[in-house]
Amino acid sequence: MGAMGFDEPVEQPVEQRLGVDTGGTYTDVVRADGSIGKVPSTPDDPGRAVRDAIGSTSPALLAHGTTVATNALLEGRLARVALVTTAGFTDVIEIARQDRPSLYDPWVDRPPVLVARSDRLEVVERLDADGAVLTPYRPGLVPPPPAGCGAVAVCLLHSDLVADHEYEVAEELRAAGWDVSASYEVSPEFREYERTVTTVLNAGLRPVCGPYLDGLVGVAERIVVTTSAGGQVGLAAASLYPVSLLLSGPAAGVRAAAAIAVACGFGDAVTFDMGGTSTDVGLVLDGEPALASGHVVGGYPVRVPALEVHTIGAGGGSVARIDPGGALRVGPESAGADPGPACYGLGGRHPTVTDADLLLGRIPPGTAFPGLGVLDESAARRACEEAGVDPQGIIDVVDAQMEQALRQVSIERGVDPTGLALVAFGGAGPLHACNLAAELSIPTVIVPSTAGVLSAVGLLVSPPRRELVRTWAGLADHEGLDEFIEALADRARVALAEEIDADLVEVETMVDCRYRGQSHEVTVPTVSDFPAEHWRRNGFRRDGTPVEVVTVRAVASAPPPSSISEVLAEVVPFAEVVQGPTVVSREDCTVWVPEGWWGEPGPLGSLVLRPVGGAGAVGATEEAPT
């Protein structure tokens, strides 16, 4: 297994369960009994690291989180896609929206158009905005996709309301041997641009993710993959809808962090996951991860169910450099797993955040990372000197970037951070958490006992989940809405019951509502809940204004494979009171406790940190104990 992991043979329990999370630098593995391991990721073949992490064991369940879809999108490795649309609408994907990605930057570029103009095909058919047929579709008139395309996306106008035409077109193309993603299956929600982009992304990811996921067959008796919504699906569904995997690992981390925050007495929290390549932050309200109405990955809108996770290119491997204007920049470029930071001793010559943390003593001299041996402090110093960068400057810049990300999911959503806890995890998160909490006046930092592999823990505690979404055509006319919701709930229940005992399945329904004239929606349990939730979020309500329903959602779920208390029951806890400045070293992460902070053991083996003189969730002590 390597420097950290399951080196000694173990007697397998009756049902062995593993969570394996593939990151940019490390692939983490956690057993249901809390034992952990790490192996270096293998970007050339991510499946190899998964097999290395599992070793010779044959688990009953592998819960997997993957970055394959995310990396393929960000690195421009999507398959070439042909797009089939309603005649006259082939340029929707290029026209996009009229908002600017950076309002005051005249030089900013939009991300590349996903489908070349020559690969966009038209079919003669047309539905109106209510789903009525204006121009019928005549079978046999689908233009053949250009040679060289690896997949086809079909997105016809208003097929989110009535999918008959789109179904016929998709089936014709499938009969001709094409790998087809149809929008009524991938993202049946209104808004043509977002629906088209999401369907094209799914089509472009399938030839990339399918072979990877197929290569995992046989490594466990049963394999599930965690989606962006923090729910588990089987390999078949993951292969069909890889666009739902873009936030796979980060979503699992938020799930686990939410459970730990609740155990420590905090229903509301921000989650801070800093790994080797990126930082993911999320929001927890009333003990549950916040849901996103839509998210953006690589500059592209993705309309599939997802947790509210904001990602930036800042991690332990983020490269520091001086730009042409003389300013210090950190990231988004990363040294990754190979060659990695200079201190890894694998040939990396660029200074990174990890090198800076080592030189500043936040990572103690002589520290050995899994599979790498003792970190090379002299190589880190040499890299900083050759690049002309100051280690403290690197930390200041990257902390400022991560602080802004935390503001986006808290202050900019109208959530007061002074009432939150900051749950810090990932290999590098606990090194930077206290400084970030101080900047945002967050009074408590929680470091889980398995902070370095918490996303892998989250894979084991994520529930089996299916979410079905449909556009509601009635808007302010709610006649028949209850029956529509009930029918969608039944479909969601049946979909999950194909893999899970039907008696375990529970279904929750929601509606996306807005006042007439608004262009953005709020997701609420029922229409009657909308005015109060609108007031809570926006500070006003419009009594007497018609409430429109635009989307109906049904979420079927079942109990997760493991509970957070079960996984962490045997983990060695943080077992002593600490006073900053000090470093607390764990096998999977390092915690930096700066001057003016102290900490004590908390529930589930966690370390609860707070400023000296501040009150926290674990004992309202005014001063740090001596």
pLDDT of residue 557 exceeding 80, the answer is yes
pLDDT of residue 486 exceeding 80, the answer is yes
Closest by alpha carbon to 397, among 298, 331, 300?
Answer: 331
The Cα–Cα gap between 336 and 247 comes to: 18
The Cα–Cα gap between 605 and 295 comes to: 33
Per-residue pLDDT tens for 319-376? 999 999 999 999 888 887 778 899 998 888 999 999 999 999 999 888 877 667 789 9
Per-residue pLDDT tens for 172-211? 999 999 999 999 999 999 999 999 999 999 999 999 999 9
List C-alpha distances in Å: 206 to 182, 201, 236, 465.
Answer: 13, 9, 11, 21
Tokens of 577: 């009171």
Band (pLDDT 50/70/90 cuts) for residue 579 is very high
The Cα–Cα gap between 65 and 455 comes to: 8
pLDDT of residue 31 exceeding 50, the answer is yes
Tokens of 429: 């998160």
What average pLDDT score do residues 606-612 get? 95
What average pLDDT score do residues 83-102 get? 90
pLDDT at position 364 is 87
pLDDT at position 512 is 95
The Cα–Cα gap between 230 and 214 comes to: 21
The Cα–Cα gap between 469 and 248 comes to: 19
| Strands 444-447, 421-425: pairing kind | parallel
What average pLDDT score do residues 566-584 get? 89
pLDDT at position 570 is 83
pLDDT of residue 71 exceeding 90, the answer is no
pLDDT of residue 236 exceeding 70, the answer is yes
| 604: alpha, beta or left? (left if phi > 0; alpha if psi -120 to 50) | left
pLDDT at position 626 is 45
pLDDT at position 14 is 35
* Mean pLDDT for all residues in the chain: 89
Per-residue pLDDT tens for 142-177? 999 999 999 999 999 999 999 999 999 999 999 999
**Cβ neighbours of residue 370 closer than 8 Å, sequence gap 6 or more:** 2, 3, 4, 5, 26, 37, 38, 39, 40
Other Cβ atoms within 10 Å of 539 Cβ, number: 8
Band (pLDDT 50/70/90 cuts) for residue 15 is low
pLDDT of residue 12 exceeding 60, the answer is no
Per-residue pLDDT tens for 378-398? 999 999 999 999 999 999 999
What average pLDDT score do residues 579-596 get? 90
Band (pLDDT 50/70/90 cuts) for residue 292 is confident
pTM of the model: 0.88
* Residue linked to tokens 């990955």: 297
Between 58-67, 112-121, 478-487, the lowest mean confidence (pLDDT) is in 58-67
Residue pair 84/42 in contact by the 8 Å Cβ criterion: no
Structural domains of the chain, with CATH: 82-201 (no CATH), 257-453+574-626 (no CATH), 465-559 (3.30.1490)
pLDDT of residue 553 exceeding 70, the answer is yes
End-to-end alpha-carbon separation of the chain, Å?
41
pLDDT at position 457 is 94
Band (pLDDT 50/70/90 cuts) for residue 614 is low
What average pLDDT score do residues 503-508 get? 95
Band (pLDDT 50/70/90 cuts) for residue 285 is very high
What average pLDDT score do residues 441-465 get? 94
pLDDT at position 299 is 87
| Residue 490 C-beta-side C-alpha neighbours within 13 Å | 6
Residues facing 28 on adjacent strands = 21, 38
pLDDT at position 371 is 67
Tokens of 427: 């290999």
